[in-house]
Copies of this chain bind each other. A is one copy, B any other.
Amino acid sequence: MVIIMEPGASQEQIDHVIKRIESAGVKAQPSLGEERTVIGVIGDKTKLGDMPIESMSGVERTMPISAPFKLASRQFRGEPTTVEANGTKIGGKKLIVMAGPCAVENNEQIITIAKEIAKSGATFIRGGAFKPRTGPYNFQGHGEPALRMLAEARRVTGLGIITEVMTPHDVELVGRYTDIFQLGTRNMQNFYLLREVGRSGKPVVLKRGLAATIEEWLLAAEYILAEGNPNVILCERGIRTFETHTRNTLDLNAVPVIKELSHLPIVVDPSHGTGIRSLVSPMSKAAIAAGADGLLLEVHHDPDNSMTGDGVQSLFPAQFDQLMIDLKSIAGAIGREV
């Protein structure tokens, strides 16, 4: 950390800051500029805890030098992490595709879709049992019965399950059925939920918050990792910007950035990221070309009759099948496979 003193800071103020910092067990190295003094902090910054340095008299601001996440960082672990779920490895050479409807609607629906996507090469079925909805008057998911339908789809097709858990209290229940927990964008900083899925030890797909910086996202992952659960998969799903043509702005830059900063695998969700069916295939290909480890996609065999408005971003099974064929070519071009 570097502490920038105000231009007119007095020697007394500088000395006070140095004394406070060194009392915590780190070394302060002041640098006398022409205009102002800058104090470098050398040593283990965590010793400073929450010391309110910026509010000390004469301090203009502080600037961090190192990233605030540890377990999630490349420095902590040099080689890529692979997460295993339902016998499938996520984060290796092989790309993973998770697909399915927005919500589990009924047994027939989920099994029909599961069979379709399995045939095309997906390895996980997704589908919401508990749905976060912007308004209270929308369909909120079928709950446990939907979890049972997902389990039945897994039994029939062999696909693994990924489904969302929305509140700490449901971690145990959802964990009984699912292979991977999904944490949604609105819950990226639901810290009690992060800790609870951390304690469960099960694989977690952690979606990026709608307005979360990459650093905040990795700090949310750190909450899970800090509970001893190394099985975190990040998921870029679009951020909120001024552009309104797309529902969100899928930020593919996050893929190579995460690969540099972290060892965790990352998948991309172009369905929510764009909110427009016709954009899903090009952005899926782009995500893989950018280096993503897999995709999370909405597929519905009958979106016109689906129970949520998200049908508009769901691929038809035939489109999904074509996309899987196209992805094989892209994957080959960058030395990976589907």
Please report A residues at the B interface, Cβ cutoff 8 Å. 2, 4, 7, 20, 29, 31-36, 38, 40, 42-44, 46, 49-57, 63, 65-66, 68-69, 75, 132-140, 166-169, 186-187, 189-193, 195, 209-211, 213-216, 219, 222-223, 226, 239-246, 249-253, 255-257, 260, 273-274, 277-279, 282-283, 285-291, 303-312, 314, 326, 329-330, 332-334
Contacts and interface: CB of A to CB of B under 8 A. Distances in A.
Can you list the 4 inter-chain pairs with the closest CB atoms, starting with the nearest? Answer: A211-B211, A55-B311, A52-B311, A329-B333
Given A242-B241, A244-B213, A40 B49 contact: no
A325 to B, nearest CB: 11
Given A65-B33, A190-B187, A239-B243, A55 B277 contact: yes
Nearest to A214: B245
A282 B278 contact: no
A139 B49 contact: yes
A249 B249 contact: yes
Contacts of A305: 52
A249 B213 CA distance: 12
A43 B38 CA distance: 13
Contacts of A40: 31, 33, 38, 40
Contacts of A246: 253, 257
Nearest to A63: B63
Given A210-B211, A253-B249, A135 B219 contact: yes
State the oligomeric state as a number of copies.
4
B289 A282 contact: yes
Given A260-B278, A282-B289, 19 more contacts: A31-B42, A52-B307, A54-B311, A55-B304, A140-B191, A210-B211, A239-B249, A240-B242, A241-B251, A243-B251, A243-B253, A249-B251, A252-B286, A253-B274, A256-B279, A256-B283, A329-B332, A330-B330, A332-B333
Contacts of A137: 46, 68, 222, 226
A127 B114 CA distance: 50
Contact of A213 (B2, B42, B239, B245): B245
A289 B288 contact: yes
Contacts of A36: 65-66
A165 B302 CA distance: 41
Contacts of A169: 168-169, 192
